């Protein structure tokens, strides 16, 4: 049984895919450049993998970008289940 992607993993994956496509690199080529398996990169892009900082660094280096450019901002890529603004916790009375 496959688990549903987390919102955070899905947002990261969508940002990774956007950066990869902008660079004109296939998943297979990115995986080769980063020393990762193509199915792993695919799983990250689909939000099915909880990626480590080490692998974020490998992907960033392979794409010749800063690690920070792979991390979506709060409002970026917000889905229908997530508000684009800052999250606020209810205050206690």
pTM of the model: 0.77
The DSSP code sequence of 4-69 is PPPHHHHHHHHHHHHHHHHHT--HHHHHHHHT--HHHHHHHHTT-S---HHHHHHHHHHHTS-GGG
Q: Is the pLDDT of residue 88 over 50?
A: no
The CATH number of the domain covering residues in 7-67: 1.10.260.40
Reported as a pLDDT band with limits 50, 70 and 90, residue 2 is low
The fraction of the chain above a pLDDT of 70, given in percent, is 77
Reported as a pLDDT band with limits 50, 70 and 90, residue 81 is very low
pLDDT in tens, 49-71: 999 999 999 999 999 999 999 99
């Amino acid at each position: 049984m496959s688990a549903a992607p987390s919102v955070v993993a899905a947002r990261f994956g969508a940002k990774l895919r956007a950066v990869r496509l902008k660079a004109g690199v296939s998943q297979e080529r990115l995986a080769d450049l980063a020393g990762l398996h193509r199915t792993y990169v695919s799983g990250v892009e689909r939000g099915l993998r909880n990626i480590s900082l080490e692998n974020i660094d490998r992907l960033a280096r392979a794409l010749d970008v800063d690690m920070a450019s792979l991390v979506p901002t709060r409002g970026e890529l917000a889905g229908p289940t997530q508000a684009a603004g800052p999250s606020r916790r209810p205050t206690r009375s």
